[in-house]
Structure 1
Amino acid sequence: MRRLALAAMVALSALAGPASLAAEPASPQPATPPPAAAYAMPDTEVFDLTARDEGGGGDGGGGGGQVYRIFVSRPSAPAPAGGYPVLYVLDANALFAGFAGERRLEEFGKVAGGGVMVVGIGYPTDQVYDMQRRLYDLTPPWPAHMPPAQAAMAGLKAGGNENFARFLLGQLRGEIAGRYPVSKERQSLFGHSLGGLFALHMLYTRPTAFEAIVAASPSQWWNDQSLLTEERAFAERLQAGRIDGPVSRVLVVAGERDTMGAIAVDADALSRRFDALSAYGLRTRHAQFDAEEHVTVPTRAITPSLRFVAGAF
């Protein structure tokens, strides 16, 4: 009898086991975290601007309804008398964040570059570069005979630099002046690679349009160095005293390993030619960054560029 009772108790325990386990509260599962928000850097703004037709090239850039994405990093301090100095930065999708972060840090540290308003000119894309748009906007037309080094690019559209120049100096400058208290006299330009080629084009063809120009790793090799023709014409005008108004100050930078198209060598040679023009009023600086390659030059150039534009380099 006792054996039967014991067996019954064991059987009941076995039957009750799963039920008792089921009755236990389940372990709390961790809550799914909400999705992270995108980071927006303080003191920055962005807007799109549709270019008007500035006189030709409506299917490429700088006119004819093309949309540009404009990035702005504005000092938090009130504008000084006369307005903020402005630095226009080309290829802003790639470069604006670096300039904006450094500008903000320098403002915190009360360094001169912190008082410069950075205006980046980019394109409506989340990619680092819009290669086709920038190729058109920043370059002169293809030559009659394509250089062998550029033969693979023959099917791409180039030659919109004059349309882009008109957009930059006309519509964009007017838009910025209407939105922000900026100085009309203290406006500068930064360009890297093809942007540096464009920056030098602006110096040679419109030598008083900017207070300062930074040409970082400029692609002077483009179109078999056709830019040299513009450079010689600029030098002749400067030496003859045929440029009215103050000529842009110029900073030329490159990397020690900036070997594509002999960019570092060409930048050094350019700086020496510029030195020869100092007697005619051209103020220039040149820097070569140790161990930097073509794609890393802009990051190293940010601090000296902001200080050069602010007049502190």
Structure 2
Amino acid sequence: MKRRLLIPSLALVPAFSAMSLASADEAPTRAPYTLPGTQTLTLPATPEGRRYQLSVQLPASFGRDAQRRYPVLYLTDAYWDFPLVAASYGNLAYDRVVPEFIIVGLGYAGEKLDHDALRLWELSPVRMPGAQGDSGHADRFLDTLEKTIFPLVEREFRGDPAQRYVAGSSLGGLFVLHALYARPQLFKGYIAASPAVVVGGDWIIGRAKAFAASGKPLPARLYVTGAEHEWPGFLAGIRRYQALLPELKQPGLVFESRLIDGERHAGTKAESFTRGLRFVFAPLAPEQGPSKD
């Protein structure tokens, strides 16, 4: 059977060209892009003068059941990582490998901010001599979370106080590990992407050993990553912490460590957060195992 070659009528060409020219004369409209399903909240200044801004993404079913409470993921460095984690959540929720949950990104209010300097204040649990900014106030930030931000999220967005999770990268990852040992009652799951273990001369390793020596249980899920092509000294600290975890035999702690191959320090975030979300939320996932036909 021969196939006919379909050629558009030449009579249509002038009309099409005229339409194209007319469209080209019209300027495209422009508007700032807003991530759908999200909102921001600017909080009053804290006693220390910190002005926090929360980036919030609510699950699709939020408006349909006014009584339902949701797990909440608190994410450090929202000004960098909130869009990334929000996109990962959409994919994972579609695959039904995580439950519906609220994402609360932790950031700062204002314009033209120096995020590198600001984050030192609350994400570092110990002083960092030589750093470009004040540091060592992680416990005060935990106070703000516990006394101000958690109650707000649980009141306004029906966050479940029994299902809080926390994620962060680099210095944010160190903050995640500090929260695990300093106030284990606050969160159920922890994602530490390329945590800055080397800060304070492996200070967090000392905290982990001290907690294990106390004999207290640590009922939590922990996911820790490093990147294959991190700065060598930085990666060595992460590997020391990862190697320590099985040695401690910490009662109640379920953990998984991973080295993200082929990535550097920031490039590890996408895979670290995606796999970390699957790991910490696994007990609540609607479906387990591979996709079904």
Coarse TM-score class (shorter-chain normalised): 0.7 to 0.9
The TM-score with structure 2 as length reference comes to 0.80
Contact between 1:116 and 1:310, CA under 8 Å: does it hold in 2? no
CA 1:276/1:224 → structure 2, altered by over 3 Å: closer, same or farther?
closer
Map 1:150-161 onto structure 2 (within 5 A).
151=130, 153=131, 156-161=133-138
Distance 1:114 1:39 in 2: 27
Letter in 2 for 1:84: Y
1:120-135 paired onto structure 2 within 5 Å: 120-125=105-110, 130-135=115-120
* Other-structure match for 2:83: 97
The 2-side partners of 1:141 and 1:224 are apart by 10
Cα distance in 2, alignment partners of residues 29 and 284 from structure 1: 57
2:143 maps to a residue whose letter is R
* Aligned CA distance change for structure 1 residues 80 and 229 (closer, same or farther; 3 Å): farther
Residue 50 (str. 1) matches residue 50 (str. 2):
no
The superposition leaves residues 168-199 of structure 1 with CA deviations (integer Å, 9 ceiling, x where unpaired) of 12200011011112211111000110011111
- Which amino acid in structure 1 is aligned with residue 32 of structure 2? A
**Structure 1 pair 97/218, CA: closer, same or farther in 2 (3 Å)?**
same
Q: How many Å apart are 1:270 and its aligned residue?
A: 1.6
Whether the 8 Å contact between 1:75 and 1:114 is mirrored in structure 2 is: no
Q: More helix by proportion, 1 or 2?
A: 1
Amino acid at match of 1:218: P
How far has the Cα of 1:204 moved from its partner? 1.4
Aligned-residue offset at 1:248: 2.1
Q: In structure 2, how many angstroms separate the alpha carbons of the residues matched to 1:263 and 1:80?
A: 46
1:249-288 equivalence runs, <5 A:
249-259=221-231, 262-278=233-249, 280-288=251-259
Q: Which residue is equivalent to 2:17?
A: none
1:248 and 2:242 equivalent? Answer: no
SS in 2 for 1:223: coil
Distance of aligned partners of 1:255 and 1:128 in 2 relative to their CA distance in 1, 3 Å threshold: farther
2:44 maps to 1:33: no
Match of 1:88 among 74, 80, 87: 74
Gaps of 5+ in 1: 1-26, 59-63
Aligned to 1:306: 277
| Aligned equivalents of 1:37, 1:134: Cα separation in 2 | 30
Quick one: percent identity of the two aligned structures?
A: 26
* 1:78-131 CA-partner distances (Å, limit 9, x unpaired): 469862111111000000001111212333x24233612111001125669611
Deviation of 1:157 after TM superposition, in Å, equals 1.1
Structure 1 residues 298 and 80, CA gap change in structure 2 (3 angstroms): farther
- Kindly provide the CA deviation profile for residues 199-231 of structure 1, in whole angstroms up to 9, marking residues without a partner as x: 111111112321011111111111222223322
CA distance in 2, matches of 1:52, 1:118: 22
Runs of 4+ in 1 over 3 A off after TM superposition: 27-32, 78-82, 125-129
1:75 corresponds in structure 2 to 59
SS at structure 2 position matched to 1:47? strand
Q: Which residue of 1 aligns with 2:97?
A: 112
SS of corresponding position for 2:257: strand
Does the 8 Å contact 1:209/1:248 carry over to 2?
no
CA separation in 1, counterparts of 2:56 and 2:97? Answer: 18
C-alpha contact (below 8 Å) 1:51/1:167 kept by paired residues: no
With structure 1 as the length reference, what TM-score do the two structures score?
Answer: 0.75
Residue 3 of structure 2: aligned partner: none
Number of equivalences? 262
Change (3 A) 1:51 1:309: farther
> Which of residues 229, 236, 241 in structure 1 aligns to 2:213?
236
Letter of the 2:57 partner, please give it. Answer: S
| SS of structure 2 residue aligned to 1:283 | strand
Q: Is the 8 A contact 1:51 1:171 kept in 2?
A: no
Q: Equivalent residue of 2:237, what SS?
A: helix
Question: Relative to structure 1, is the Cα distance of residues 73 and 122 closer, same or farther in structure 2, using a 3 angstrom cutoff?
Answer: same
Alignment RMSD (CA, Å): 2.6
